[in-house]
Amino acid sequence: MFKMLTLTFFSLLALAANSVLCRLALGDGSIDPVSFTLIRLFSGILMLSLALLFLRRSQPKPLSVSRSLALRYGAAFMLFLYAIAFSIAYINLDTGIGALVLFGSVQLTMIINGVIKGQHLHKVEWLGLLLAFSGLIYLVLPKLSTPSLSGFILMALAGIAWGFYTLMGRGSTTPMTDTASNFIYTWPWLLLLVLWLIFNGAELQSKGVLLALASGGITSGLGYIVWYAALKYYSATQAAVLQLLVPVLAAFGGVIFIAETISLNLIMASIMVLGGIFLVIAGRWYFTRAVEKSV
């Protein structure tokens, strides 16, 4: 039990810390979003490569990747799209708002994907879906004329990309090696970022570089490893509910480390979005259990 709680706590903390680190780096112009993304993904590649090297030495059987080359490149592109949109969005969004839009979009993407594939939603699930969408609209509606709208759209795009990335990895039988592979196969798009920086220049301060390294190597690289280790203790539904804590942790991280404020607008939107997603998840769990008991 202690091991399960420890892994869960640190994995959720790592997911929330990504938002705080990115906002800390980009909020005061310590680094530009392209450089942050490049350093973050590259340091993630290094950390995961070291983790794989350690596993190869500690396990007698060879490590393998469970997916095709096309799927690996597809997942890598979604990882890259998430990372670059995430970074650019945080120029204009507070930490808590960004995390709320991100994880709200992730869950909604996965829910809508299930509906498109023929998954039947009950009334309470439709109610939850409507409530969550309404919360996201309520969050940005008062500020439609400000730059936060572009940040909202980009963060929603990051959430959609992460949602598809998650869906692509659901059938993975070797999550550790597949995750490392996903990072490594972002190399074509990392080269594009290098070319962008060559022609457009980079804004780099030591603070921004260190925060990007920490985001990539620790909260992304090691954080994802810890998250996979924690997942074996939970069902898919329980894991989805746990992720709803991330925007709350990120919001408090923004207050503590960046001196951001938690507005009434954010609180109300959080209740609507997280409450709506919880209704969908809890509704699916309830009706699944009801079907199992009737059989």
**What whole-number distance in Å separates Cα of residue 159 and Cα of residue 153?**
10
Q: Domain residues for 270?
A: 2-294
pLDDT for the residue 82: 95
pLDDT of residue 31: 94
Query: Hey, which residues does 206 pair with through a beta bridge?
Result: none
Model pLDDT for residues 65-121, shown as the tens digit of each residue: 556 777 888 989 999 999 999 999 998 888 878 888 888 888 788 778 877 887 777
pTM: 0.83
Q: Which pLDDT does position 191 carry in this prediction?
A: 96
Backbone dihedral angles phi then psi of residue 204, each to the nearest 5 degrees = -130, 125
Residues 6+ apart with CB under 8 A from 147: 92
pLDDT of residue 147: 46
Number of structural domains the chain divides into = 1
pLDDT above 50: residue 145: no
pLDDT digits (tens, 9 = 90+) for 207-264: 999 999 999 999 988 887 787 777 777 655 556 666 777 887 888 888 888 887 777 8
Residue 123: how many CB atoms within 10 A of its CB? Answer: 8
Separation CA 131–CA 127 (nearest Å): 6
